[in-house]
């Protein structure tokens, strides 16, 4: 039978949902006009006549949905799915199904309000009464976990860290498994207390005794890294920066590889010491010698940028802000391109200096002249 003939007053976006065997609500489907979703919701309505939810098939699906209208008396406490969880009225967790599922979960689950994870954590808490880590399954799983796991309260990670602690009693790191894994880890791993990363860093330490970088593997990898890597203590990044340093002896940037890569980088890259970004910014510098913005590509890109971009030194954002400045000389906003874009923006945009957001807010201002909302007020 034709849908419109059968349900002449049923106005829905997806008529194919009507009578497809799944009870859906979304308001307009589970209504008398739509034949209670083409009969799909008749049984549901008989059991829960006052339960209004988007997805009725969530009710009684074995999973406690503790949001919206599902876990309510009208919906039979999610069709009984939340009865166990509701024993703990002050338990506010993201996954109620974890409570009493047989596995002890940590953090906010293993609390008095959540019944010590629905009694799942009673044995764990008896053994480790003051251990409050998030992942309790990590305790005693055969892997030594650091930080809060490797503590007296957690019995040194359930005994997993006893050998490690005996060998490196003063090595306090997050990942003990990294020690002696054949890869030289830097920072606090590469210290005497940690046996120079369990001997993994012995050769590196011998060659660069005062180099304390986080990633020793970057030293001598044929790529010039800046900052702490390109120092005398680190052999000028294991000689990777020798050529760069000869060419730009006073250029100190985080990414030397960006110098002369064909793209004009701003800020400290576009300086005399860095030879105007390895000549990548030469044309830009000749045109705007006093413009020191970080993103030179924003200059003259067709969008009016504010702040240091919209200055005489930067050619009023490479000409992008000429019309804006002429029209709104006293309008100081972070996003000039918002002015007159068809959306009524509030705060400093919806002011006389900014032409009531480039006329976008005229109706709003006329109707409510004393109200200046901070975010967008109307979208036309």
Joined together, the tokens standing for residue 58 give 């969530």
- The pair of structure tokens assigned to 134 is 């998030």
Largest distance between two CA atoms of the chain: 87
Total residue length of the chain: 380
Rounded CA gap, 87 and 13, in Å?
40
DSSP class of residue 377 equals: -
Contact 110, 139 (CB under 8 A): no
DSSP class per residue in 195-248: HHHHTTTHHHHHH-TT---S-GGGTTSSS---GGGSSTTTHHHHTTTHHHHHH-
Listed in sequence order, the residues at least 6 apart from 237 whose beta carbon sits closer than 8 Å to its beta carbon are 218, 219, 220, 224, 225, 229, 230
pLDDT tens-digit map of 288-309? 999 999 999 999 999 999 999 9
Q: Supply the pTM of this predicted model.
A: 0.58
Q: Which residues make beta-bridge pairs with 344?
A: 378
C-alpha–C-alpha distance, residues 139 and 149, integer Å? 7
Q: How far apart are the two ends of the chain, measured CA to CA in Å?
A: 41
Alpha helices in the chain (DSSP H): 3-6, 35-38, 42-47, 76-79, 115-118, 122-127, 155-158, 162-167, 195-198, 202-207, 235-238, 242-247, 275-278, 282-287, 315-318, 322-327, 355-358, 362-367
Range 86-94, long-range pairs (CB < 8 A, 24+ positions): 87/115, 87/118, 88/113, 88/114, 88/115, 88/118, 91/115
pLDDT, tens digit only, all 380 positions of the chain: 577 788 888 888 788 888 888 887 766 788 888 888 888 888 888 888 888 887 888 888 888 888 778 889 999 999 999 888 889 989 888 888 888 888 888 888 889 999 998 898 898 888 888 888 888 888 889 999 998 999 999 999 999 999 999 999 999 999 999 999 999 999 999 999 999 999 999 999 999 999 999 999 999 999 999 999 999 999 999 999 999 999 999 999 999 999 999 999 999 999 999 999 999 999 999 999 999 999 999 999 999 999 999 999 999 999 999 999 999 999 999 999 999 998 998 889 999 999 999 998 887 656 554 444 444 444 33
Half-sphere exposure of 285 (CA within 13 A, CB side): 18
């Amino acid at each position: 039978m034709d849908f419109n003939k059968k349900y002449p007053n049923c106005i829905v976006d997806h008529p194919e949902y009507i009578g497809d065997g799944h009870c859906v609500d979304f308001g307009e489907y589970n209504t008398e006009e739509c034949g209670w979703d083409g009969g799909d919701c008749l049984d549901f309505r008989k059991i829960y006549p006052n339960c209004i939810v988007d997805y009725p098939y969530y009710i009684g699906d074995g999973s406690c949905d503790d949001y919206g209208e599902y876990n309510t008396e009208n919906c039979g406490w999610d069709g009984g799915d939340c009865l166990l969880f509701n024993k703990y009225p002050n338990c506010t967790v993201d996954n109620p199904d974890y409570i009493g599922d047989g596995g002890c979960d940590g953090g906010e689950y293993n609390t008095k309000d959540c019944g010590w994870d629905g009694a799942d954590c009673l044995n764990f808490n008896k053994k480790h009464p003051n251990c409050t880590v998030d992942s309790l399954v990590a305790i005693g799983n055969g892997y030594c976990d650091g930080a809060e796991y490797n503590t007296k309260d957690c019995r040194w990670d359930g005994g997993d860290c006893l050998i490690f602690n005996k060998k490196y009693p003063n090595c306090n790191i997050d990942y003990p498994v990294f020690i002696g894994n054949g890869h030289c880890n830097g920072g606090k791993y590469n210290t005497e207390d940690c046996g120079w990363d369990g001997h993994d860093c012995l050769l590196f330490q011998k060659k660069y005794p005062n180099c304390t970088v986080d990633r020793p593997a970057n030293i001598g990898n044929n790529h010039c890294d800046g900052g702490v890597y390109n120092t005398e203590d680190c052999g000028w990044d294991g000689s990777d920066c020798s050529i760069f340093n000869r060419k730009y002896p006073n250029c100190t940037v985080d990414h030397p590889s960006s110098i002369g890569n064909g793209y004009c980088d701003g800020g400290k890259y576009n300086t005399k010491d860095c030879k105007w970004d390895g000549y990548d910014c030469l044309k830009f510098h000749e045109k705007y010698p006093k413009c020191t913005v970080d993103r030179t590509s924003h200059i003259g890109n067709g969008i009016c940028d504010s702040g240091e971009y919209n200055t005489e030194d930067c050619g009023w954002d490479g000409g992008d802000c000429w019309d804006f400045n002429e029209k709104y000389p006293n309008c100081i906003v972070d996003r000039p391109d918002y002015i007159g874009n068809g959306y009524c923006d509030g705060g400093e945009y919806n002011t006389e200096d900014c032409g009531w957001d480039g006329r976008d807010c005229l109706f709003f201002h006329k109707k409510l002249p004393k109200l200046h909302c901070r975010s967008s007020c109307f979208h036309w």
